[in-house]
């Protein structure tokens, strides 16, 4: 559900390799991280420019280690807010593929993010996750969800809290290698084809 951080460390489903530019990994990352920002959980669907607003985030910044710039396991998916607040100077943040963010961060009904650890506090501080606009938007989406559920408005629920329409068909991608090729058959595009895609998530 929205704003509930994963209780397990993210285990990568995809492992493409060999692209010459990091943007080519973007569709893989969209699917990998379910079309939302790993840091704040804001979704593509909530932005007027959808996925175009989102970007490939280098967990270890290029300026710190250039050899990881095209390493899929160093890439995350993030919203413009988190991407622009992250900078090389701040040092390493909590890696969502190592640490379950759910143990460190929690969202209250008022939209305010609460830290359950020092690392969680650093995430909130560095990425300005409790800035007034960010908090207000969270609260708005939570009440929107509650309202639509109460009304039983399935169409609107899907519009706000469903999957994007332009799911990438990862079977058509041609990376030089794929270390986790079995993940392709379970990409969201395939799930939709099989009628197994949930209406909302
Ligand atoms: Zn974000």
Render pLDDT for 143-179 as a digit per residue (tens, 0 to 9).
Answer: 999 999 999 999 999 999 999 999 999 999 999 999 9
Residue pLDDT, tens place only, 129-140: 999 999 999 999
Kindly tell me if the per-residue pLDDT of 90 is higher than 90: no
Q: From ligand 1's centre to the CA of 166, what distance in Å?
A: 20
Q: From ligand 1's centre to the CA of 201, what distance in Å?
A: 17
pTM of the shown model: 0.95
Provide the b/e sequence for 72-111 (b: ≥16 CB within 10 Å): bebbbbbbebbbebbeeeeeebbbbeebbbebbbbbeeeb
Q: From ligand 1's centre to the CA of 49, what distance in Å?
A: 15
d(CA 18, CA 200): 33
Residue pLDDT, tens place only, 27-37: 999 999 999 99
Higher pLDDT, 89 or 3: 3
Q: From ligand 1's centre to the CA of 194, what distance in Å?
A: 30
Name beta bridge partners: 56: 77
Q: From ligand 1's centre to the CA of 133, what distance in Å?
A: 13
Q: From ligand 1's centre to the CA of 190, what distance in Å?
A: 26
Nearest residue to 76 via CA among 101, 97, 91? 97
Counting residues of the chain whose pLDDT is more than 70, the rounded percentage is 99
Q: From ligand 1's centre to the CA of 95, what distance in Å?
A: 14
d(CA 126, CA 137): 19
Which pLDDT score, from 0 to 100, does residue 12 have?
Answer: 98
Q: From ligand 1's centre to the CA of 129, what distance in Å?
A: 8
Residue ranges of domains in the chain: 16-193
Which residues lie closer than 8 Å to 93 by C-beta, 6 or more apart? 59, 86, 119, 122, 123, 126
């Amino acid at each position: 559900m929205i704003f509930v951080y994963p209780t397990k460390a993210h285990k990568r489903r995809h492992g493409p390799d060999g692209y010459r530019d990091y943007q080519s990994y973007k569709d893989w990352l969209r699917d990998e991280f379910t079309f939302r920002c790993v840091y704040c959980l804001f979704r593509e669907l909530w932005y007027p420019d959808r996925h175009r607003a989102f970007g490939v985030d280098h967990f270890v910044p290029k300026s710190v280690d250039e050899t990881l710039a095209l390493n899929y396991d160093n890439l995350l998916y993030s919203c413009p807010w988190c991407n622009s607040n992250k900078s090389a100077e701040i040092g390493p943040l909590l890696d969502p593929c190592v640490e379950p963010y759910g143990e460190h961060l929690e969202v209250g009904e008022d939209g305010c993010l609460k830290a359950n650890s020092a690392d969680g506090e650093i995430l909130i501080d560095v990425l300005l996750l409790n800035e007034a606009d960010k908090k207000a938007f969270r609260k708005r989406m939570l009440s929107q969800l509650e309202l639509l559920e109460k009304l039983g408005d399935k169409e609107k629920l899907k519009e706000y809290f469903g999957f994007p329409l332009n799911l990438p068909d990862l079977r058509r991608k041609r990376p030089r290698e794929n270390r986790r090729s079995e993940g392709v058959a379970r990409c969201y595009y395939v799930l939709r084809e099989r009628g197994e895609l949930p209406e909302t998530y």
